Structure 1
Amino acid sequence: MDRVAVFADVQNIYYTVKQQHNCHFDYGSFLREVTTGRKLVKAIAYAIDKGDRKQIQFQQILTRLGFEVKLTPYIQRADGSTKGDWDV
């Protein structure tokens, strides 16, 4: 059986799907689709940590779907600019 690992950049997926299709990305359907007939070795979702209640709930959903959620801090700089990406 083939093996597969999934690595998801949550912020890029969110903004791309919202801007291009004006909808939300279905991580559950995606994970089922890419793992059909394959053994899932690892699923990691990279996201930012704002401490927002809705964001925490979403991260819990990802965990229940089988993703390991890795967070990077959301930084608000003194000049008003922000940084919240992984630079992967």
Structure 2
Amino acid sequence: METISILVDVQNVYYTTKQAYGRNFDYNKFWAKATGNRKVVKAVAYAIDRGDQKQKQFQNILKAIGFEVKLKPYIQRSDGSAKGDWD
């Protein structure tokens, strides 16, 4: 059986899908397509932590699908700019 690792940058996937296609990314469909008859060795979704309830629900959905969710704090700077990516 083939083994795979899945690494997802949640913010980049979200904004790219919104801008390019005007829709939301379906992580359930992605998981089904990517895993198929493969064994998942590791699956990590990298995201930012803004602390809001809707985001926490989304993170729980990712966990239920099979992702380990790694969070980086969202930082609002005094000049109004923000930092929260994994780049």
Mapped to 2, the partners of 1:38 and 1:50 lie a distance apart of 33
Q: Flag as ranges the 4+ runs of structure 1 deviating above 2 A.
A: none
Mapped to 2, the partners of 1:36 and 1:79 lie a distance apart of 46
| Number of residue pairs aligned between Structure 1 and Structure 2 | 87
Tell me which amino acid in the other structure corresponds to 1:30. F
% identical aligned pairs? 61
Superposed CA offset, 1:6-46 (max 9, x none): 00000000000001111110111111111111111111000
Superposed CA offset, 1:62-84 (max 9, x none): 00000000000000011111000
> Scaled by the length of structure 2, what TM-score is found?
0.97
Tell me which amino acid in the other structure corresponds to 2:20. Q
The residue aligned with 1:85 is 85
Tell me which amino acid in the other structure corresponds to 1:11. Q
Mapped to 2, the partners of 1:80 and 1:44 lie a distance apart of 30
> Scaled by the length of structure 1, what TM-score is found?
0.96
What does residue range 1-88 of structure 1 map to in structure 2 within 5 Å? 1-87=1-87
CA root-mean-square deviation: 0.6
